[in-house]
A = this chain, B = another copy of it.
Amino acid sequence: MAESPLLDIARLRKSCAQCSLQQLCLPAGIGGEDLERLDALVKKRRPLERGDRLFRSGTGLSALFVAREGSFKTVAMNEDGDEQIIGFHLPGELIGLDALGSGTHRCDAEALEGAEVCEIPMWDLERVAAQIPGLQHQLLRIIGKNMELDQDHLTMLGRRHANERVLLFIHGLSERLQTLGRAHLQFSLPMSREEIASYLGLVIETVSRSFTKLQDDGLISIRGRQLKILDHRKLVEAAHSPELVRAAGRG
């Protein structure tokens, strides 16, 4: 038992159980020294406050972050100065891949609420990934999973009716919360209406109206940021068929 890291693994399993990076180590058949080496990379950072930034656009990529507690948004700025939210990052999700292509961040990452992050220095991660068999593959999968989130966002924005976008947004959030092991039928939105609007390519008033309409239709209940999904089945159906959404609006 001279170097058995059993206790360490148990601790890690617990602290990282719902982390999107858990697949980076735990199920990849990595153990012992390798696991310790990986664990040594991860720095736990001080708590962050609402509005604090992990990085800014134009900054070089130094590390990837995982939201451990609290949620984040990534915001891109156009030439003309108006911002667009291009991603929300829930607790357990990854932040910082936007700089993978050029080595420079293309957006700001900002805490939506009190938060805490793990930080993985990119340079070290790449080095270790090249050495530990299986880790590179897991890294690619995690990156791929993140691309899927972007594509889901894309399909929301491709919808031409505001109600559909909002519906898909709620549904998507709920699914993500579920896979992260959190309550997914009743939860608190970490972002403002304004931020949702930006994310969905809408205007704040339209988002507000959509919410109240969904509430009137009995699909959800929403009071401020407290959201409850009342009829999950109907919500999923409605998200995938515009007719239902519109028909309900006339009732």
A positions within 8 Å CB-CB of B: 76, 78-80, 84, 86, 97-103, 106, 126, 129-130, 133, 136-137, 140-148, 150-151, 153-155, 157-160, 198, 201-203, 240-242
Contact = CB atoms under 8 A, between A and B. Distances in A.
A100 B130 contact: no
A101 B240 contact: no
A201 B161 CA distance: 10
A101 B145 contact: yes
Contacts of A106: 148, 151
Nearest to A101: B144
Given A84-B155, A101-B145, 20 more contacts: A76-B155, A78-B240, A80-B242, A84-B154, A98-B147, A98-B151, A99-B144, A100-B143, A100-B144, A101-B147, A102-B148, A106-B148, A126-B140, A129-B136, A143-B143, A154-B154, A154-B157, A157-B201, A160-B201, A160-B202
Of residues A78, A97, A142, A157, which shows the largest number of chain B Cβ atoms within 10 Å of its Cβ?
A157
Q: Oligomeric state, in number of copies? A: 2
A86 B155 contact: yes
Given A201-B158, A240-B78, A150 B147 contact: yes
22 contacts: A76-B151, A80-B242, A84-B155, A84-B158, A86-B154, A86-B155, A97-B147, A100-B143, A100-B147, A101-B143, A101-B146, A101-B148, A102-B148, A103-B141, A126-B136, A140-B143, A147-B147, A147-B150, A150-B151, A150-B154, A157-B158, A160-B202
A100 B141 contact: yes
Contact of A79 (B143, B198, B240): B240
Contacts of A154: 84, 86, 150, 153-154, 157
A195 to B, nearest CB: 13
Of residues A80, A84, A151, which shows the largest number of chain B Cβ atoms within 10 Å of its Cβ?
A151
Nearest to A203: B160
